Amino acid sequence: MASMLLSRQLTCCLQQNSRLLVSGHRYISQAAAKIDVDFDYDGPLMKTEVPGPRSRELMKQLNGIQNAEAVHFFCNYEESRGNYLVDVDGNRMLDLYSQISSIPIGYSHPSLIKLLQQPQNLSTFINRPALGILPPENFAERLKESLLSVAPKGLPQVITMSCGSCSNENAFKAIFMWYRNKERGHNNVTKEELESCMINQPPGCPDYAMLSFMGGFHGRTLGCLATTHSKAIHKLDIPSLDWPIAPFPRLKYPLEDFVKENQQEEARCLEEVEDLIVKYRKKKKIVAGIIIEPIQSEGGDNHASDDFFRKLRDIARKHGCAFLVDEVQTGGGCTGKFWAHEHWGLDDPADVVTFSKKMMTGGFFHKEEFRPNAPYRIFNTWLGDPSKNLMLAEVIKVIKREDLLNNATHAGKALLTGLLDLQARYPHLISRVRGRGTFCSFDTPNDATRNKLITIARNKGVVLGGCGDRSIRFRPTLIFKDHHAHLFLNIFSDILANFK
């Protein structure tokens, strides 16, 4: 299949969608430039309901081995291409969820297939090293070509990991070690510290905390769960830590109609952040760091103004807390900038930035001062995977060559404009339309309506995702273009018109 994808020629171009915008019911699709129809299909094609009979059989098989209740359907990745996901029953769907926001340049991208076919790259994929002790000869070079080529401003150091949770978990550790080293005056560790840490007691295990926000999601490992507050099912039955939780602004929409109210809401939340830092210090628990997402994703696509983040950054600096920006879901270009926090316009936006998903690998960037002062302090067997760095370097080349950051801005505007139009026509079904780049979402009246809309859309050939209590989120790939937005909007307009 891979060689077929590469050898087929550009044989067709998308025909201009002739449907016109009539009474607000149809969206004009600009003709796409010539595209490789072997890479991106020209539309959905449905053969069964989803999940279909083959998916249901496979669900039954998998459920006998593990709890498979979260599975939506089984996929045929050999046939999936571009923005389209094909399932095992032959249904072809426009994917606006892209594996929970983790596919950067579409399925089976020719550039990545070519990369895997090159003989000199085989060893990178076959021989996975324990990077902390036995890295390959070209590892530093690969990091420079990939991650360091897009490093956030002021963060020259990077450590790779395998997923978002372990990225945040180890970032917490780096922050705690940094803070303790400051308190210690950069002196040597004492015998008491070495002995007490072995039995989970201070001073070796200091009573530090990370401040997080209601609605935030930072992972499912133990430390990350203490900062995750999006859904109860994530946290139920798991022991946790007494770490402060601040309110995240709940903005009112449309933003231009609620400027004063939203400013007051953000001021209230910032005041609470400072109060919590002081309160915890009084009870001998130090807030060593603050963690926040540029857009709370799992918690409901909750936004705050750039000014809110600027002021939060100032609070962190004022109180000597590290400022950790979790870009696991927002990073990689979907907001129109490579890192969503770049929208804030700060010279010093973060001390640590975590990443995963569209970045192909997990890990975190950090300032020099957060560098571990001894080996094995930030460590595990894999510490990421060199093959992912190789693929990321190619992804970055494609992003630059095809100007995909500007594409995210342009396609996102088409999507958001269409959603606002649908909100005006179906206010009983859609509210609080919001977004940055293609990172868009809206609210539905309740969870049942949201889930029903997602199911209907899937059976019409569109994959969407939910978040929060009643939101629908859009997480398309970076190659999602205007005509894909118009295609979706036409389908979804019909769904809303006939929704009962």
Answer yes or no: 381 catalytic: yes
- Token pair of 465, please? 């995702």
Radius of gyration of the chain measured on its C-alpha atoms: 24
Tell me which of 190, 307, 381, 403 is the catalytic residue. 381
Tell me which of 40, 326, 351, 443 is the catalytic residue. 326
Give residues with Cβ within 8 angstroms of 355, minimum separation 6.
164, 167, 327, 328, 331, 332, 362, 363, 364, 365
What DSSP letter does each residue of 217-273 carry, written as one string?
---SSHHHHTT--S-HHHHTT-------EEPPP---SSGGG-HHHHHHHHHHHHHHH
Answer yes or no: 326 catalytic: yes
Tell me which of 357, 358, 388, 481 is the catalytic residue. 357
Tell me which of 217, 309, 323, 439 is the catalytic residue. 217
Answer yes or no: 217 catalytic: yes
**CA–CA separation, 349 vs 239, rounded Å?**
32
Burial of 124 (0-12, 13-18, 19+ CB in 10 A): buried
Torsion of CA 371, 374, 377, 380, to 10 degrees: 100
- Token pair of 70, please? 């979260």
- Give Cα separations from 69 to 89, 298, 466 (angstroms): 19, 19, 16
Omega of the bond prior to 254 within 30 degrees of 0, cis?
yes
- Give Cα separations from 427 to 149, 268, 394, 432 (angstroms): 44, 29, 43, 10
Which stretches within 36-118 are classed as H helix? 53-63, 98-101, 110-117
Q: Is residue 154 helix, strand or coil? A: coil
**CA–CA separation, 403 vs 64, rounded Å?**
46
Torsion of CA 67, 72, 78, 80, to 10 degrees: -160
- Token pair of 153, please? 């401003």
Answer yes or no: 442 catalytic: no
Residue carrying the six token digits 């996901």: 85
Residues with a known catalytic role: 217, 326, 357, 381
